[in-house]
Amino acid sequence: MEGTLFAAACLSVNGYKACFVRLIATKDENHTICAFKQDGYWGAISKSKFSGLRFREPIYETISCLIKSYFEFYYNSKGEKTLRKFSRPLVVKLGKWLWNVRELEKLIAKMRRMKLKIILPSKIKLSKVSKAVFASGIQEINPFNKDSI
C-alpha cells in the first residue's frame, strides 16, 4: 500500500488525477495500484515483489482493460492465476491523508467499501503460469549485490 500512496502523491503533485484501484485475489494476497489517465488512456503504478504487477504504460482505453492486463502475472506460489475482482477507481486528491494517520485510515476504509467488479468466477479452471513466467516473476533486488540488478 505504501508504494501506491507514494505514487498517488507524486502523480497528484505533477498534475495527474491519481486513483486507487483494489485488485482482489483468491488464494493469494490482494493488491492496490495507483491508476492514472494520460491523453485519455489508463496507466498504473504500483510496488510489488512481482515484476509483472508494477508499472503499466497509459495505453489502455478502459480501466477494465488495464486491470485485465495484470491477469496473467497475478499468481500465487503454486503458479495459480488468482486475480478475480477489482474496485472502481477511487480518485485521490492531495490532502491530509499525506500526514494524518486518521485521514489515511478513512481513505483506506472508503476504498475497502467500494463495490467490486468480477473479472471471472473463482470456480473457473485455468492453466498455471508457465515455468518461465513463474521464475521471472519474483524480483528480489539487493542494492549491495550488483548481480541482482
pLDDT of residue 149: 44
> pLDDT tens, 53-98?
788 999 999 999 999 998 888 888 888 888 899 999 999 888 887 8
Helix (H, G, I), strand (E, B) or coil at 149: coil
> pLDDT tens, 101-149?
898 899 889 989 999 999 987 678 888 887 877 777 766 544 554 554 4
**How many structural domains does the chain have?**
1
User: Domain containing 38: what range?
Assistant: 2-148
The pTM (predicted TM-score) of the whole model is 0.82
Distance (Å, rounded) from C-alpha 107 to C-alpha 40?
A: 26
| In contact, 41 and 32? CB cutoff 8 Å | no
140-143: which pairs have CB atoms within 8 A and are 24 or more residues apart?
Answer: 140/49
